[in-house]
Amino acid sequence: MAVAIETTIKTASQTQISIQPVVSENISKVRNLNSVLFPVRYSKTFYENLLQPNYFGRLAYFNAQCVGTITCCKQPLGYADVKMAGMREPSERCEMYMMTLGVLAPFRRMGIAQSLVKCALETAAEDPSIKRVVLHVQVGNDDALGFYHKLGFVTTHTVDQYYKHIEPSQAYDNSDKTAQQTEAATTKQTLPPPLEEDDEFEEFEKENWDESEEDKEDLALWDKDWDDDDWEDDFSKQLRVELDKLSQPQPMSVSN
C-alpha cells in the first residue's frame, strides 16, 4: 500500500544540472557515489565494463559538483526476463537494462534523476536494435515505482528471489511503454512530459555485487578497509563528510 508523504519540492534549472559521459578519467566518481548510495560494493569488473561499447554510464553534476549517476547495459532482448547462458552479447534484437540509478540525498527532488533517465531513454531511442528499456524495482519501493511510471514505464510482472541480501527479495520487472505498443516502434521513443518532482530513491542490480567473503560479512555503506586507495581522492573524502550529514540534511537554497 502506497503512503502519501508531504514534502518540500526543490527545483533546479537546467543551467545548474549537467550530464556527462562516464570515461576512464571520471570512473572513480561512479565508484565513490555507489559507495554512498548503495548498501553493497560492486566488483571491479562492473566498473571495467562501464567503459566498454555496450555499456552506458552518465554522471550528473549540480553546479559543478558530482551528485548522481546512472549505469545501463545493452543485452539480448529478453535477457532480463530469462537469464541466458554465457555473456551478455547483444544481437540484432536487444534491450537496454538499467543497472543503477542514484542521487545524493541533499540533491534529490530537483529533477536530476529524471534528467539521467531521459538521457538513457534518448540514447536507447537512437539505436535501432534496442527494442525496449527494462529495469527492476524492489517490491515495496513505492517511490521508485511511481517515479518510473511517471516516466512512461509499466510493471509487467514480479520476479521472486531477485535480491540475495535484502528483504523483500522480490522485484518488479518494468519496461518502457513503447515496447508494449509495438516492437518495431522503438527507434524513436516519445518521451513523457517533465515531472513535477523527482522522487527519492536508489536502484541497484543484484548480479553485479562483489560477493567476496569480506563483502558478505559487511554490506555497510562504507567499508573502511578499501582494496585500493588510489581512487579515494578528495571527492571521496568530501562524500564521507556529506554522508555524515544525511541524517540531518541542512536546508539548501536553490535559485530558479
User: Given 42, 47, 55, 97, which residue is catalytic?
Assistant: 97
User: Given 55, 136, 148, 163, which residue is catalytic?
Assistant: 136
* Sign of CA pseudo-dihedral 17, 21, 24, 27: positive
* Sign of CA pseudo-dihedral 37, 62, 152, 189: negative
Alpha-carbon gap, residue 128 to 227, rounded angstroms: 40
Among 59, 18, 8, CA closest to 196: 8
User: Bridge partners of 159?
Assistant: 171
- 157 assigned to active site: no
Do 52 and 39 contact (CB within 8 A), yes or no? Answer: no
Alpha-carbon gap, residue 246 to 239, rounded angstroms: 10
Compute the chain's Rg from CA coordinates. Answer: 18
- 136 assigned to active site: yes
Look-up: residue for cell 512512461?
152
Kindly report the number of other CB atoms within 10 A of residue 179's CB atom: 21
User: Which residues are catalytically annotated?
Assistant: 97, 136
